[in-house]
Amino acid sequence: MAKPRVLLISTGGTITMVKTPSGDLAPCDSADLLLDRVPEVKTLADVDLLSLANIDSSNLEPAIWPKLSRELYKRYRDYDGFVITHGTDTLAYTSAALSLMVQELGKPVVITGSQVPLEEIGSDGRANLINSFRVAVADFAEVAVVFGSQIIRGSRAKKTSAFDMQAFTSANAQPLGTIGLSIKFARESIRRSKRKPMLQPFLESSVCLLPVYPGIRPDLVTHVSETHKGLVLEGYGAGNLPTEGPSSLVPAIQTSTGRGVPVVICTQCLVGSTEMELYRVGRAALQAGAIPAMDMTPEMALVKLMWVLGQTDDLPTIDSMMQKSFVGEVHETV
């Protein structure tokens, strides 16, 4: 039987890095390093390589997401699966963006990377890349992050460690699968089908993500709303914000929403959801026009607001779309 066809898309990141003469790490000149150092993937699939970018992911700009989604959509019929190598620092943002921009997949789109460059002893890049190809040829059809022993839905991925080889976790949701001696997919994972993907590369990148902290100045929020099209605030706990004294953010939120600039509130906590009607401080923000992000990660909330603003500037519509689950990013209540 013919081997499945997989397109390997490289964007740079640690997995492609080598040491420079000055001793620091930078992406190598050619993404061919991936196939040269991990030839085992060719036993799993016929592999083509597309070098889309060659950057440290700290230098990633949102403009790459529509470009990447269009390449996936354009080449969708030609391949049985896709593997994308990416730097870990902004990988969760890209996985969130691809989940929204290419929906209704019937094939797997797998994003991976490494904590240690392939060329160095102890690199996790080899195992991550091989496991990503194993998932890319399996009966699976979602945007997913494969890292360490976990398969994580793209809309739920979050980097939680700069040290551990299991650098990513599935925030507020069980992983879609685990990798050990074999691959075990969760029941809720979506399987291959003949679905036709929907390309929705909408983007308004003028959105700011701002943490709330003791002593925050409301004029900072006002300034951001004057210079951006949208704002995501990382609130405390259940989405709580300061509402009394000089740090009260309620007037600034009210001013922002009054100008048509949406203010979305997520939580700084890794586990849990915004429950803004629970406390008076949260309810005050809601009454000022804030939109709850519920159990979305801050990365997902930011990217989703960019995506929504790429389609509409109507505040009620933005509110409705932000609270709707498109790709499993929100646990909707029935």
Model pTM? 0.95
Cβ neighbours of residue 327 closer than 8 Å, sequence gap 6 or more: 99, 100, 103, 143, 153, 154, 155
- Beta-ladder partners of 7: 48, 82
Digit-coded pLDDT (tens) for 33-66: 888 889 999 999 999 999 999 888 999 999 999 9
Cβ-based burial of 259 (10 A; exposed 0-12, middle 13-18, buried ≥19): exposed
Look over the chain and give the mean of its residue pLDDT values, rounded to a whole number: 94
Digit-coded pLDDT (tens) for 216-263: 999 999 999 999 999 999 999 999 999 999 999 999 999 999 999 999
Digit-coded pLDDT (tens) for 272-309: 999 988 878 889 999 999 999 999 999 999 999 999 99
The count of other CB atoms within 10 Å of the CB of residue 187 is: 6
> What is the rounded distance in angstroms from the CA atom of residue 126 to the CA atom of residue 34?
9
**Domains plus CATH for the chain?**
5-199 (3.40.50.1170), 207-322 (3.40.50.40)
pLDDT band at 334 (very low <50, low <70, confident <90, very high): very low
pLDDT band at 75 (very low <50, low <70, confident <90, very high): very high
- Read out DSSP for 162-220? SSSS--EEETTS--SEEESSSEEE-TTSPPP--PPPEE-------EEEEE--TT--HHH
Q: Which two tokens stand for residue 126?
A: 């080899």
Q: Provide the percentage of residues in the chain whose pLDDT is more than 90.
A: 86
pLDDT band at 29 (very low <50, low <70, confident <90, very high): low
Digit-coded pLDDT (tens) for 189-221: 999 999 999 999 999 999 999 999 999 999 999
Question: Higher pLDDT residue, 1 or 52?
Answer: 52
pLDDT of residue 332: 65
CA 298 to chain centre: 10
Q: Which two tokens stand for residue 238?
A: 């259940």
State the catalytic residues.
14, 88-89, 159, 279
Place of tokens 């030609």: 78
pLDDT band at 4 (very low <50, low <70, confident <90, very high): very high
> What is the rounded distance in angstroms from the CA atom of residue 194 to the CA atom of residue 188?
18
